[in-house]
Amino acid sequence: MRIDIPDVILPADQLGRVHFVGIGGAGLSAIARLMVGQGVTVTGSDAADSTVLQALQAEGITCHVGHDAAHLSDVDTVIATTAVREDNAEIVEARRLGLRLWPRSAGLQSVLLGGRAVAVAGTHGKTTTTAMLTCALRATGADPSFAIGAEVASLGTNARRGSGDVIVAEADESDGAFLVYTPFGAVVTNVDADHLDQWGTEEAYAAAFIQFVGQVSGFVILNTDDAGATVLTEHVAGQAAVWTVGFDGSPRLQGTDLVVDGSSTTFSVHLDGSPLVDVRLAVPGQHYAVDALLAMAAGLALGHDAAHLADGLSTYTGAARRMQSLGSAGGVRIYDSYAHHPTEIRADLAAARAIAGDDRLVVAFQPHLVSRTRIYGAQMGEALSAADAVVVADIYLAREDTDPDVTAALVVNAIRGASASLGGPVSGLADVVVPLLQPGDLLLTLGAGDITTVGPDVLARLASA
């Protein structure tokens, strides 16, 4: 469902009573928490109960399971996820009553108006970089507000209102939301064409990032190891300071001496050619080192001490569904990750290889969206070839319809060097995966859909075997 952006976005404290349709999602739950922290009266609803709804209830937010027009009694503003349908009872009632009806992006912008916003954008790594920056700032003694697209273990939540004037927020480009924001600072992790069902062409996708950095007033942090982000250096129109960051070439903030092992990542940081600080992360992976370097740059741009920022980065232990350890049973270690684009898949398989060492890496993958699989299915298969064995589930449709010419077979047929098979529906995927596993294996469940249910199912079966 499309909801128009309002011509004028009011600050959150001028919205009256706010109701969230789809409050159980990562984006809306974060905004709701920030508004409550600002003194706004908030309610919400979602189609099904969840741990997120239960946590929000425990925090004092009234949350309804199921949608009903009656939930809009005494409500002034409705903020809705675009995943709901036009015929949703609460959307219909909001329109009938003439209530202020906003999309997620307008809701977040209303919160960002309350401080110096630092928006973290990019195709990959937004959640991790936002979380790392938050951890880093907290170690300096600052108390930033933050809104992150996943629960973060070291922070205990995905959003909180802090006492400081900085608000760190994940800025999603998938539906154009990030173009609503006018941040003081911005980080661009990379620009790697995705969500072409929204943008249409790679050129339009890249142009959106050009528009985004043009809306920043203070500083822009760019990952110059990425060609798409590097192009943006010439489009920051003098209104913001540019920090180039990376491990390659000669960026202003450069990482060197990168070492990745099975449990950590270490590297050194140089500023303007001079040694600055050493960083040790509690998560393994080269892509995490890049994210941490970007977070370090943003912290420096805000005026904080490098040693304190490095201390904060060391406290980051991961975010939900970002190479998250689910535990082990029967000699099998199980991890779960959100990766669904070929670039993300390659990065996560490289990290999983570092964790697995000489043991087998088995991947259960669920393609996300017909449109993405049509464009990138073969590249997904190529990236998955780094595993020893791969099972590919049916495509997670989300908001799209099936296409008989676009199936999981597009992915399986492109896998080389690893055993590969079709796994069918996610509901029966554990039946396919468990017989493949051997003691010593590392199982990685991968995808942005409901494959997140498979890891716990496999874990329970192995534990009871």
The enclosing domain of 420 has a CATH number of 3.90.190.20
- Out of 289, 313, 337, a domain closes at 313
Q: Is residue 151 part of a domain?
A: yes
In a domain, 295, yes or no: yes
In terms of domains, do 279 and 393 share one?
A: no
Residue 88 lies in a domain: yes
pLDDT of residue 321: 72
Asked if 167 and 294 sit in the same domain, the reply is yes
Rounded to whole angstroms, what are the CA distances from 402 to 23, 339, 368?
Answer: 27, 21, 12
Judgement on whether residues 32 and 136 belong to the same structural domain of the protein: no
Name residue, tokens 């294996």.
Answer: 441
Please check whether residues 129 and 241 belong to one and the same domain. Answer: yes
Evaluate whether 35 touches 77 at the Cβ level (below 8 Å): no
Strand order in the sheet with 332-337: 324-329, 332-337, 442-446, 361-365, 389-393, 419-424
Taking the CA atoms of 154, 116, 205 and 177 in sequence, report the sign of the dihedral they define: positive
Other C-beta atoms lying within 10 Å of the C-beta of residue 332: 22
> What is the model's pTM?
0.82
Q: Do 65 and 135 belong to one domain? A: no
Q: Apex CA 327: angle with CA 442 and CA 421, to 5°?
A: 35
Question: Same domain, yes or no, for 129 and 231?
Answer: yes
In the chain, the number of structural domains is: 3
- For 100, the domain range is 12-107
Judge whether 7 lies within some domain.
Answer: no
One domain, residues 259 and 349: no
C-alpha to C-alpha distance for 296 and 304, rounded to whole angstroms: 9
Boundary (domain end) residue, out of 313, 334, 368 = 313
For 89-102, give one letter per residue: b (16+ CB within 10 A) or e.
bbbebbeeeebbbb
- 54: domain CATH number is 3.40.50.720
Task: Choose one of 267, 288, 313: the last residue of a domain.
Answer: 313
Select from 235, 234, 270 the least CA-distant residue to 255.
270
Examine residue 27 and state whether it is found in any structural domain, yes or no.
Answer: yes
pLDDT along the chain (465 residues), means of 10: 88 97 93 96 94 93 96 96 90 96 94 93 91 97 93 90 95 82 95 70 89 94 94 85 96 96 92 97 91 98 98 89 86 91 89 89 95 92 96 89 93 94 95 95 93 94 90
Phi-psi map region of 272: left, alpha, beta (phi>0 left; psi -120 to 50 alpha)? left
My answer on whether 163 and 306 are in the same domain is yes
The DSSP result for 215-266, as a single string, is T-SSEEEEETTSHHHHGGGGGS-SSSEEEEEESSS--SEEEEEEEE-SS-EE
- Do 19 and 88 fall into the same domain? yes
Residues 264 and 353 in one domain: no
Contacts of 281 (CB under 8 A, 6+ apart): 264, 265, 266, 288, 289, 292, 313, 314, 316
CA quadruple 417, 419, 422, 423: dihedral, nearest 10: -130
**Residue 19: inside a domain:** yes
SS3 for 88? Answer: coil
Task: Output the pLDDT for position 197.
Answer: 66
Domain shared by 350 and 391, yes or no: yes
Q: Domain for residue 335, yes or no?
A: yes
pLDDT value at residue 324 = 86
The pLDDT of residue 112:
93
Q: Are residues 126 and 199 in the same domain?
A: yes
CATH of residue 150's domain is 3.40.1190.10
Task: Please check whether residue 287 lies inside any domain of the structure.
Answer: yes
Phi first, then psi: what are they for 376, rounded to 5°? -115, 5
